[in-house]
């Protein structure tokens, strides 16, 4: 499909808001939870991040597609988003290193989208009403959208990690590397693995539902619990694995969903946020150093600050400066810590990559 044809598309939100625009990507119908990302760059990294599985992404940056698509910038093998909403969509790209246009990339991977939408208005709507289900269609008339929207499951109570994680164990990094880290893949981004490998780590990546005993057989020096999609409240299988790791008392680092699972393993509950944190410009304060970091974030769930205050198992290490939500914690008496944001931050910013160094240092000091 060429955009010059200007085929129309619709997006219908759960609260009844209906918008008409131009069809982009593959012609079809897709539903999911609608949310927005405030990043100025990195649209391809966003679309291929497994944490976005089951979600329709609204890009707040008005001009999308202008630098095309490139295999090296994918965070997983294919886009994981359920749909895409943009304002000004560029079919022509300027970057010489790009291998294809964004339109070709979306069509090739079956992503349905809509352009020529007032995304500023739509984002204000989501901020006011909260994240909710929506449906995009370039094939159905507006009267048929409601029936399809009713089939879209709620994100709350949804287990999705096992759908996007690896189904087989695999290795990445040098076999004779100084440190060995067992990675529990809940929907990991490739940039995370690259950051570990660049620090002299050999990673063995395990499927989401791997039990602790299986990971332990490899005799790793440390454990990593990855980011991923879905509701942590229904992921008891991962909680049990992390409890086993804590009992072994080896270094553990968790990111995003991994942070939430670590909290649950310490009897701290999680809850769904009103509209979540998604973007490359979220301010975080490191309570240990007093320094602030501009961070990359992507999450719709968060750990309970009230329960952490009453807990004798964990302490807060980082807070989100916009709303004081918990952005990092450590386990008392254990070499285990986690953050709610993404220190690998591809395409940026890189303020928080020191956390990978902190993890490696913890491994070396624990040997």
**Residues 207, 329 within the same domain:** yes
Q: What is the pLDDT of residue 1?
A: 47
**Residues 291, 195 within the same domain:** yes
Q: What is the pLDDT of residue 6?
A: 81
**Residues 26, 55 within the same domain:** yes
Q: What are phi and psi of 328, to 5 degrees?
A: -170, 150
Domain limit, last residue, from 92, 123, 149: 149
Is 154 contained in some domain?
no
Distance separating alpha carbons of residues 189 and 35, to the nearest angstrom: 19
Q: What is the pLDDT of residue 143?
A: 86
Q: Which of 45, 26, 28, 27 is nearest to 298 (CA)?
A: 45
- Which residues share a beta bridge with 297? 279
Number of domains in the chain: 2
Strand arrangement of the beta sheet that strand 179-184 belongs to: 170-172, 201-206, 179-184, 222-225, 252-255, 336-339, 326-331, 314-320, 270-286, 292-303
How deeply is 311 buried, as exposed, middle or buried, from its count of CB atoms within 10 A (0-12, 13-18, 19+)?
middle
**Residues 141, 265 within the same domain:** no
Indicate which residues carry an active-site annotation. 256, 342, 344
Is 21 contained in some domain?
yes
Is 226 contained in some domain?
yes
Distance separating alpha carbons of residues 241 and 109, to the nearest angstrom: 33
In Å, what is the CA distance from 62 to each residue of 38, 279, 290, 361? 10, 14, 35, 41
Three-state DSSP at 168 gives coil
Is 296 contained in some domain?
yes
**Residues 183, 48 within the same domain:** no
Cβ atoms of residues 293 and 286 within 8 Å: yes
How deeply is 243 buried, as exposed, middle or buried, from its count of CB atoms within 10 A (0-12, 13-18, 19+)?
middle
**Residues 18, 84 within the same domain:** yes
Is 155 contained in some domain?
no
DSSP character string of 147-166: HHHTTSPPSTT-B-HHHHS-
- pLDDT tens figures, 283-292: 999 999 999 9
Q: What is the pLDDT of residue 142?
A: 84
Q: What is the pLDDT of residue 5?
A: 67
**Residues 52, 22 within the same domain:** yes
Q: What is the pLDDT of residue 105?
A: 97
**Residues 53, 80 within the same domain:** yes
Domain range for 238 is: 161-366
CATH number at residue 29: 3.50.30.20
**Low-confidence stretches of the chain (pLDDT beneath 70):** 1-5
């Amino acid at each position: 499909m060429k955009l010059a044809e200007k085929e129309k598309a619709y997006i219908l939100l759960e609260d009844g808001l209906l918008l008409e625009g131009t069809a982009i990507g593959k012609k079809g119908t897709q539903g999911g939870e609608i949310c927005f990302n405030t990043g100025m760059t990195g649209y391809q990294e966003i679309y291929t991040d497994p944490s976005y599985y089951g979600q329709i992404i609204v890009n707040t940056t008005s001009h999308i597609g202008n630098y095309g698509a490139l295999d090296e910038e994918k965070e997983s093998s294919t886009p994981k988003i359920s749909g895409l909403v943009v304002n000004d969509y560029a079919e022509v790209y300027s970057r010489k290193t790009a291998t294809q246009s964004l339109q070709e990339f979306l069509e090739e991977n079956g992503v349905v989208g809509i352009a020529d939408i007032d995304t500023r208005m739509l984002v204000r709507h989501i901020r006011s009403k909260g994240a909710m289900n929506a449906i995009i269609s370039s094939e159905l008339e507006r009267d048929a959208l409601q029936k399809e929207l009713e089939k879209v499951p709620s994100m709350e109570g949804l287990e999705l990690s096992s759908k996007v994680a690896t189904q087989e164990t695999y290795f990445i990094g040098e076999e004779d590397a100084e440190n060995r880290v067992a990675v529990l893949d809940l929907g990991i981004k490739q940039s995370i693995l690259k950051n570990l490998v660049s620090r002299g780590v050999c990673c063995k990546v395990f499927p989401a539902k791997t039990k602790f005993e299986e990971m332990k057989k490899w005799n790793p020096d440390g454990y990593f619990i990855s980011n991923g999609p879905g509701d942590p409240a229904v992921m008891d299988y991962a909680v049990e694995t992390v409890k086993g790791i804590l009992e072994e008392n080896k270094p553990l680092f968790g990111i995003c969903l991994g942070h939430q699972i670590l909290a649950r393993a310490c009897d701290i509950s999680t809850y769904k946020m009103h509209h979540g944190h998604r973007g490359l410009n979220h301010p975080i304060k490191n309570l240990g150093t007093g320094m602030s970091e501009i961070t990359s974030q992507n999450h719709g769930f968060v750990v309970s600050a009230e329960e952490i205050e009453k807990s004798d198992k964990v302490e807060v290490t980082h807070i989100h400066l916009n709303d004081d939500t918990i952005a990092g914690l450590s386990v008392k008496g254990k070499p285990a810590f986690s953050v709610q944001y993404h220190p690998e931050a591809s395409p940026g910013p890189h303020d928080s990559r020191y956390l990978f160094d902190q993890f490696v240092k913890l491994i070396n000091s624990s040997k």
